[in-house]
Amino acid sequence: MLRPRIIPSLLLHDNGLVKTVKFKSPKYVGDPINAVRIFNEKEVDELAFFDIDATVLNKEPNYILIEKLANQSRMPLCYGGGVKTVEQAQKIFGLGIEKIALSSAVIQNPQLVTQIADRVGSQSVIVVLDIKKNLFGGYEIYTHNGKKSTGINPIKFAKELEKLGVGEIIINSIDQDGVMKGYDLNLIDKIAETISIPLTVLGGAGSMSDIEKVIEKHGVIGVAAGSLFVFKGPYKAVLINYPTQIEKNKIFKINKSGNTE
Amino acid sequence: MITLIDYGVGNIFAFQNVYKRLNIPTKIAKKKEDLANAKKLILPGVGSFDYAMAQLNASDMREKLDELVLEEKVPVIGICVGMQIMGNRSDEGKLEGLKWINSEILKFDENLIQQRTKLPHMGWNDVVPINKHPLFIGLEKEAIFYFLHSFYFKCNNETESIAVSNYGISFSSAVHRENIYGIQFHPEKSHQYGEKLLHNFANL
């Protein structure tokens, strides 16, 4: 049976890992290479890194760091941040990244999806949509760490991206980011109804039961979280954590005697 | 010594790292001279069928590989698209495959996939060995592996399928003929299970 994926989502800032709240006030949570090592031990389904400096500072992706992350990783890796061209994407794949997440560049030029997919295959091209609720209860895509509004409706745009050959869409709820009060389930429903390519949701997980709720409703889906997997306890002490295979099987409702050897 | 074929497609370093942890030496081959005296080969691959074939054809290793695999019977394992290009042809592209294993690469039928999400087949899935097989020692029960693909390997000779997985249909997730092995999933990204499988390949 194909399982849902539970994905730690980590933010890169000044060569370190940070965690934000509503895309603001980044708090240092550790060293990225060390985090990959710990997540290897925990046998994570997949790991996502987003460089939150690259686009706003108009920088090239940090290839040296990406290569180090890829070399350490025994799990599939997704990288996002500052990728604007087919050449950059190809270089990053060459470093050993399985999936590349595009964001602002695709909003300016949706055809970029097709260009990259032609080279590396659709399955490896991902688009991340940073989404904010507007005053009228609708949703809108933002870029540049939530600072630039685009006027684009994410539900319509998700459909368009599917047609262009995107392999997966990640929706990231800006309002829920770092708040740890649960996902925006309404937004997830709306996007999930629209597309038939893989969907990963991010923003708001405060407990494993938040993750469970999404999986119960949507079955095979990617459920990503930042704070949940880097903080522990009410005072948000930095402590990397992740459910065990047995805990995951319970959530996935897989009846096996456990995967320990 | 395991020779990793670097034809610009796929992640050589991930394999190197797994074998480093296992204390098994590896070597990277970028041109035909590097393939001399190869004892065991890994043909990795990500991306599209035609891109992988074009890259391999453009390298000067194609002829030497055919010689090593088909005449000298050097063990080789193809991974993901590296497995698919061992077949005759693919629904994904126009180029001819290596034809090392008599097979067609077909697109999954989306109508048979029950869940809302159709393609790609992405994530962790069960791999069930059909019979006892040296590649799957210690992986007979409850092994899961990471998949990322939209096309699957259909053996024209059913007995060459050595493990199956399910995605709408049951398909061959591992194949074997003589010295030639292929696996659809990514062992280099499948934690302990992948490491075990790569160790088993080294021990063949």
Q: What are the chain B neighbours of A198 within 8 Å (beta carbons)?
A: 117, 120, 122-123
Q: Region B172-186: what's the mean pLDDT?
A: 98
Residue A63, in any domain of the structure: yes
* For range B192-196, the mean pLDDT: 96
Compute the average pLDDT of residues A143-162.
96
Mean pLDDT of chain A: 93
Return the residue of B nearest to A193 by Cα: B116
> pTM of the prediction?
0.94
Nearest-CB residue to B148 (from A1, A96, A98): A98
Mean pLDDT in residue range A96-119: 92
Three-state secondary-structure class, residue B165:
strand
Give pLDDT, residue A222. 97
Task: Name the band, by pLDDT with cuts 50, 70 and 90, for residue A260.
Answer: very low
**Assigned domain for A48 exists:** yes
Q: How many domains is chain A built from?
A: 1
Task: Choose the weakest-confidence range: A54-68, A114-128, A245-259, B119-133.
Answer: A245-259
Indicate yes or no: CB of B47 within 8 angstroms of CB of A73: no
Local confidence band at A119 (pLDDT 50, 70, 90 cut-offs): confident
Tens digit of pLDDT for each residue in A173-231?
Answer: 999 999 999 999 999 999 999 999 999 999 999 999 999 999 999 999 999 999 999 99
> Which one has a higher pLDDT value, B118 or B183?
B183
Q: How confident is the model at residue B58 (pLDDT cuts 50, 70, 90)?
A: very high
* Ranges A107-121, B128-142, B148-162: which has the least confidence: A107-121
How near does any CA of chain A get to the CA of B145, in Å? 10
- pLDDT band at residue A169 under the 50/70/90 scheme: very high
Q: What is the pLDDT of residue B47?
A: 79
Judging contacts by C-beta atoms under 8 Å, the chain B residues touching residue A167 are: 120, 122
Record: contact B148-A124, CB cut-off 8 A: yes
**Which chain B residue is nearest to residue A3, measuring alpha carbons?**
B124
Q: Name B35's Cβ contacts closer than 8 Å, sequence gap at least 6.
A: B3, B5, B29, B41, B61, B64, B65, B68
Q: For residue A260, is it within any domain? A: no
Are A2 and B121 inside 8 Å of each other by CB?
yes
**Which domain range does residue A114 map to?**
5-252
- Contact state of B186 with A98 under an 8 Å Cβ cutoff: yes
Quote ipTM for the complex: 0.91
Which range (A2-6, A104-108, A120-124, B64-68) has the least confidence? A120-124
Residue B198 pLDDT = 98
Confidence of residue A256 (pLDDT cuts 50, 70, 90): low
What are the structural domains of chain B?
2-203 (3.40.50.880)
On whether the CB atoms of residues B193 and A74 are closer than 8 A, the answer is no
Annotated active-site residue in A45, A53, A130, A184: A130
Torsion of CA A105, A108, A113, A118, to 10 degrees: -100
From B110, B116, B189, residue closest to A98, measured CB to CB: B189
CB atoms within 10 A of CB B9: 27
Pairwise CA distance, residues A74 & B20, whole Å: 13
Q: How many CB atoms are located within 10 Å of the residue A261 CB? A: 11
Active site residue B80: yes
User: How would you classify the pairing of strands A77-80 and A16-21?
Assistant: unpaired
On whether residue A259 sits in a domain, the answer given is no
Please indicate whether, in this complex, the C-beta atoms of A71 and B13 are within 8 angstroms of each other: yes
**Domain CATH number, residue A138:** 3.20.20.70
- Confidence check: pLDDT of A257 > 80: no
DSSP character at residue B186: B
Instruction: Grade residue A258 by pLDDT with cuts at 50, 70 and 90.
Output: very low
Shortest Cα distance, chain B CAs vs residue A1, angstroms: 5
- Which of 133-162 (A) contact B at CB < 8 A? none
Catalytic pick from B63, B67, B80, B121?
Answer: B80
- Per-residue pLDDT tens over the stretch A66-78: 999 998 899 999 9
Q: Is B105 a residue whose pLDDT tops 60? A: yes
The reply to whether A96 touches chain B by the CB within 8 Å rule is: yes
Average pLDDT over residues A152-159: 97
Q: Identify whether A199 is part of a domain.
A: yes
Mean pLDDT of B39-65: 93
* CB contacts, 8 Å: A192 with chain B: 116
Query: B134 to chain A, minimum CA–CA distance in Å?
Result: 18
Give the model's pLDDT for residue B194: 97
Which of chain A's residues have a Cβ under 8 Å away from the Cβ of B51? 119-121
